[in-house]
Structure formats: C-alpha cells, structure tokens
Amino acid sequence: MPFDKTDIDVSLVSRLVATQFPRWAHLDVRPVELSGWDNKTFRLGDDMSIRLPSAERYAAQVEKEQRWLPKLAPLLPLPIPAPLAMGLPSEDYPWHWSVYKWLEGENATLERIADLSQFATDLAQFLVSLQRIDPADGPLYGGHNFFRGGPVATYDAETLRSIQILEDHIDTDAATTVWESALNATWQRPTVWIHGDIAAGNLLAARGQLSAVIDFGCMGIGDPACDLVIAWTFFSGKSRKAFREALPLDFDTWARGRGWALWKALITLVQHIDTNPIEEDKARHVIDEVLADHLLPS
C-alpha cells in the first residue's frame, strides 16, 4: 500500500525516534504549525527539529542536505539548518529523514519585518555569499530539485499550456512576451550554488530582521535566476529595487527570474482559479507584478 503523508504524525515520529535514537526518546515531539509541502516538520524537545519527506519525489533531498549543509554553513553570513543525525527507512516509514538543530525565529511575514528594504538587502547578500562558494562536485540541477537552476525552458510546454488555458483571465500577449524574453536570455556563465526555493516560508525573522534561511531541499548548482522569484512574490517597489541592486546580476538573469516567477504563478492560477480565492488572488498578484516589471526600464 502506498505511503500517505497523512500517516506522518506525532505517534509515527515518536516511534521512529525511540527505535533509532533512544537517547532522545524521552523528549517531547510536537508538530510545527507551518511545516511546508515537501516535508513534515516536528519539534524534538526544545533544541532540535525533525523533518520527514512527505512523498518519494522529495526523499533524495535528505541525503543531499546531510552531505552539503555542514560544508556550506561556515561560508554563509546567516544560520542554515545543521544536521545532527539521519534516520533510516523502516517498516513504519519508507525513506531517510533528518534531525536538525532548532533554529530560532518565525517564518517571515511583512508584519514581522522592521525594514523590508533592509531585509531584501540582507537576503541578497546571503545569496551572493552562497553563489561565491566553490561549486566543485556540487549536485547539478536535475530531478532531485525539480530542475531549479536549470534552463527555464524545462517548463516551456507547461507554461504555454497554462497561458492558453488562462486566455480569458489574464493578458496572454503580455505573458507570452515575458516568457519569450526569459527563454531568450540563456545562462552563459559557470554554475553557482543555488538555494532553489527562496520564499518567505523558508526565511526566518527575529527582532524584525532576517535571522536564518531554511529548507535547502532544492539546492544544487546551476543558474541563480530561480532564486530571484521572491522579488515578485514578496518584495515590491523599494524593497524589490534594493534586492536587485544588492545582487551582481545582469538584465538577462533578471529576465529569467521573471520567467521562473511567471511559470509558478501561472500553474498556480490554473490549479486554483474559481476554487481557492486566496491562492488565486496571490497568483494573480504575482502575474501582475511580473508583467508590470517587464515594462520598466532595464
């Protein structure tokens, strides 16, 4: 019988810990309110967390994080998850899983940030530091990270199909123009390290500032354009400008970043239109931001 992510609960995690790490069996296991889609996250005592992939397509991320996060951490200006142990597949749970040191902070929201432009600059500086790390032997983009860092053309057919479906809902001519600009702006430089999923839910804030970057499951080496999506999903106006100016990127990379943001917003809108007003509004907002940004002077 296929494993269902709804089976990942406190009872399962407690059994896994007791069996594989009995030294921690006395610690409380508590679910984390916002644990993400790819993984389910739990607190283990006060100082640790546990992350378990929610489906087989995310399982390869565990060993990748276990190998690379300890090597990247000393070279970065902000804390990132620190693996403490790796759990093994069992009769109860079919994939590897991780125990991490708990990172203080809350998921970034506009209300928790004192100065959004400074937050944007700090994030950009983190990405610059990440991109400067030697990529030798790093995991090249591929199925393990859903081709984040690869050519945006990977999602050409899906994007064009979404534009066609949304013909009566968005400016399809403008969307097609933005997408074609992204396709034509190919990456011509050496690969660099990427996070792969820079989103507000993967950023922690404490005392009004960016305090940590989490969830490196989509990390790899490739084109850094995919890490720019937050410019249109979270930043705007002055904060978007601050983010862009703090990054040593060219016009083509920014254009590919718009392409990544547009692709995700389009498929999200197709999925939720007329069924989930909140997600529909979010996707429409990103599409509007991307299309408007394309018209600004480069």
| CATH number of the domain encompassing residue 238 | 3.90.1200.10
pLDDT at residue 64 above 90? Answer: yes
Distance CA 264, CA 120 (A): 21
Question: Residues 40-50: what's their mean pLDDT?
Answer: 96
pLDDT tens for residues 175-212? 999 999 999 999 999 999 999 999 999 999 999 999 99
Do residues 263 and 138 both lie within one domain? yes
> Dihedral angle at the C-alpha atoms of 71, 76, 79, 83, nearest 10 degrees?
-10
Question: Residues 42-64: what's their mean pLDDT?
Answer: 95
pLDDT at residue 33 above 80? Answer: no
Do residues 89 and 146 both lie within one domain? no
CB atoms within 10 A of CB 21: 17
- What is the sign of the dihedral through the CA atoms of 31, 265, 222 and 242? negative
Do residues 114 and 98 both lie within one domain? no
Total count of domains within the chain: 2
Distance CA 274, CA 277 (A): 7
Distance CA 36, CA 252 (A): 31
What percent of the chain is modeled with pLDDT above 70?
A: 97
Question: Residues 92-117: what's their mean pLDDT?
Answer: 96
Distance CA 69, CA 213 (A): 11
Find the largest Cα–Cα distance for the chain.
60
Do residues 141 and 258 both lie within one domain? yes
Question: Residues 19-26: what's their mean pLDDT?
Answer: 98
The whole-model pTM stands at 0.95
pLDDT tens for residues 123-176? 999 999 999 999 999 999 999 999 999 999 999 999 999 999 999 999 999 999
Do residues 201 and 269 both lie within one domain? yes
What pLDDT band is residue 5 in, cutting at 50, 70 and 90? low
Predicted confidence at residue 38, as pLDDT, reads 86
DSSP assignment of 170-226, as one string? S-HHHHHHHHHHHHHS---S--EEE-S---GGGEEEETTEEEEE---TT-EEE-GGG
Q: Which domain holds residue 122?
A: 107-294
CB atoms within 10 A of CB 91: 7
Distance CA 145, CA 103 (A): 23
**179, two tokens:** 């997408």
Do residues 124 and 246 both lie within one domain? yes
Predicted confidence at residue 258, as pLDDT, reads 98
The edge-to-edge listing of strands for the beta sheet with 29-31 is 29-31, 39-44, 48-53, 97-101, 83-87
Alpha-carbon distances, residue 229 vs 1, 200, 212, 213, 259 (angstroms): 37, 11, 18, 15, 9
What percent of the chain is modeled with pLDDT above 90?
A: 94
What pLDDT band is residue 6 in, cutting at 50, 70 and 90? confident
Do residues 207 and 249 both lie within one domain? yes
Query: Closest by alpha carbon to 23, among 55, 57, 1, 48?
Result: 48
Do residues 61 and 123 both lie within one domain? no
Phi, psi values for residue 291, rounded to 5°: -65, -40
Three-state DSSP state, 97? strand
Q: Which of 66, 83, 103 is the last residue of a domain?
A: 103
pLDDT tens for residues 245-258? 999 999 999 999 99
Predicted confidence at residue 298, as pLDDT, reads 72
- pLDDT, the chain, mean: 95
pLDDT at residue 3 above 70? Answer: no
Distance CA 184, CA 273 (A): 29
- What is the sign of the dihedral through the CA atoms of 157, 268, 120 and 126? negative
DSSP tag of 29? E
Q: Which of 47, 78, 103 is the last residue of a domain?
A: 103
